[in-house]
Amino acid sequence: MRELKTSDIFKASKILSKINIKVDVKDKVQEQVGSEMILAIGENLHFAEKEVNEFMGDLIGISAKEFSDLPISKTIKYFEEIKKLEGISDFFKSAGRLTK
């Protein structure tokens, strides 16, 4: 999985806006924010299926179609990896600010 980059903030903002995700980041550690974001996204994923497939495919270096065809065990593994990315909390804070 590649590192997050600036353009990813805008992609994530679009996804968060489309699925109306709001996570309170006050007084929480990075891992907790990341975990809550992944859970919230999972619950509303169907609202942004195309955008999520494109974003995740780009992160791991495959097409959106290839990502959508992955076995669920691999998909879950990739979502777990996102939670461990350096700066994930700041990333989602920035993306969340763009949705307001």
- Residue 44, pLDDT above cutoff 90: no
- Residue 100, pLDDT above cutoff 70: no
Structure tokens at 98: 């763009």
Average pLDDT, the chain: 85
Distance separating alpha carbons of residues 69 and 62, to the nearest angstrom: 11
- Domain containing 11 equals 6-98
Structure tokens at 3: 């590192």
Residue 67: inside a domain: yes
Phi-psi region of 61 (alpha: psi -120 to 50; beta: other; left: phi over 0): left
Do the beta carbons of residue 64 and residue 54 sit within 8 Å? Answer: yes
Residue 1: inside a domain: no
Helix (H, G, I), strand (E, B) or coil at 46: helix
More confident residue, 87 or 80: 80
Q: What is the mean pLDDT of residues 74-91?
A: 86
Domain count, the chain: 1
CB within 8 Å of 15: residues ≥ 6 apart: 41, 48, 51, 52, 55
Q: Which amino acid is at 98?
A: L
Q: Give whichever of 17-26, 70-79, 85-94 has the largest mean pLDDT.
A: 70-79
Distances from the Cα of 21 to the Cα of 50, 66, 73, angstroms: 17, 26, 24
Say what the pTM is: 0.71
More confident residue, 64 or 30: 64
